[in-house]
Structure 1
Amino acid sequence: MARTQGSRAEITGPLIRDAARHLFARHGYAAVSMRQIASAVGVQVGTIYGYTPDKQALLFDLLDSHMQIVLAGWQDDPDQPPLLRLEHFVRNHIAYSLDHQEAVFLAYMELRNLTPEHHARIAAQRRRYEDALEDILRAGQQAGVMHVPDTRLATLALIGMLTGVTNWYRDGGRLDRDRLIGIYWDLARGAVGA
């Protein structure tokens, strides 16, 4: 298949992904067509198929690469005190979420649109990330510095609270990022009874 004149793989591929991410986040996966993505990039719709077999594969690729970045970016040191580990998790999660709001939104809202096979793969990656936080909470309980009745539920509640910041926070608002993250750290610490 011929590429649109003037398009280059190292430029066009990322542009397609960026346009798809933006359009899926703004309008929802089901409402976006490949034609809309092509129009946003400024290429013919057939050009997109040189980069992805279909819209489902494009969505999966976006969610998979997001989770790979999240997992690669999370570094935990089990030798550190549990509260320090939790603080690092909170700060890392919010900073990443604010810097990648559309990717985070897709990872939560469009998971339902994946095929069962793709869904299982992304869910397994998410579980690895959740397990990292749950390990911290268990260590905190064992050390007697955290008190939660159910570590799994606390894990999901904390991630939901931390991710929720992307729904309302905007740079230039009442709180700067450092103050925001400090407040969320206080909330997280309170949530685990520390």
Structure 2
Amino acid sequence: MARKIGSSADITGPRIRSAALGLFARHGFAAVSMRQIAAAVGVQAGALYLYTPDKQALLFDLMHDHMTSLLAAFAALPAQATPQARLDQFARFHIGYHLDRPEAVFIAYMELRALTPENFTAIEALRHEYEDHLQSILTQGAASGAFLLPDAKMATLALIAMLTGVTNWYRPDGRLSREDVQSLYAEMALRSVGAAPSDAREI
């Protein structure tokens, strides 16, 4: 991962990251040059290299920070007593967290192909760590009889895809509020594994 060097990078670094995030999300990683990022920040292209060795390292840093922040936020959630309550909590958390970060989410899923093999392996490990939290909820729910599902891994991937998909269509001024969407998707998640929404805690 790139290291920020000196006071100049400390000041410019967040602006570079913000500009790169927006440009990668709008135009795609391959179509964006370091010169374009520098222009968006208002610095010479050479100044970028005080912050990051190259565009690949910048992409990796953005993805790595997104995943580690996601894992930290999930770890900070209060413990729930039942698998139903844990699944309800996971669904609401996943949607809320990702709706706040649509550009980071888009890059994290669509630009995996742009990573070098080494960087891809590191990001995939973090993705699997997050998915394992959901798979653990489903596995424990199935073992206790709270959930009915034939394959916890497949159910994990299906639920992650369903919950993340909200970022593709949700609009703050749309028919449903964020809370409405979180409640409806939590209900769908529970029903998809054979659990009644009334079994989950109220949030």
After the TM superposition, which residues 13-162 of structure 1 pair with which residues of structure 2 at under 5 Å, given as runs? 13-75=13-75, 80-162=81-163
Cα distance, 1:173 vs. partner?
1.0
Q: Structure 1 residue runs of 4+, over 2 Å off?
A: 7-11, 75-79
SS of the residue corresponding to residue 105 of structure 1 reads helix
Amino acid in structure 2 at the alignment position of 1:83: Q
Check conservation: 1:77, 1:85, Cα contact below 8 A. no
Question: Alpha carbon RMSD of aligned pairs, Å?
Answer: 1.4
CA shift at 1:192, angstroms?
1.1
Q: Which string of whole-angstrom CA distances, capped at 9 and with x for unpartnered residues, describes residues 105-126 of structure 1?
A: 1111001110000000000000
What is the identity, as a one-letter code, of the residue corresponding to 2:48? I
CA deviation profile, 1:35-65 (whole Å, cap 9, x unmatched): 1111111111111111000000000000001
Unpaired stretches in structure 2, ≥5 consecutive residues: 1-6, 196-203
Rounded Cα–Cα distance in structure 1 between residues aligned with 2:171 and 2:33:
29
Q: Which residue of the partner structure matches residue 4 of structure 1?
A: none
Q: Percent identity?
A: 59
Q: Which runs of 5+ in 1 are unaligned?
A: 1-6
| TM-score calculated relative to the size of structure 2 | 0.89
Determine helix, strand or coil for the equivalent of 2:50.
coil
Q: Report the CA distance between 1:78 and its aligned residue.
A: 6.7
Q: For residues 126-172 of structure 1, what are the alpha-carbon distances to aligned partners after superposition, in whole Å with 9 as ceiling and x for unaligned?
A: 00000110000001101111111110010001000000000010111
Query: Which deviates more from structure 2 when the two are superposed, residues 57-66 or residues 182-191?
Result: 182-191
Indicate the SS of the match to 2:12.
Answer: helix
| Number of equivalent positions | 188
Q: Give the TM-score normalised by the residue count of structure 1.
A: 0.93
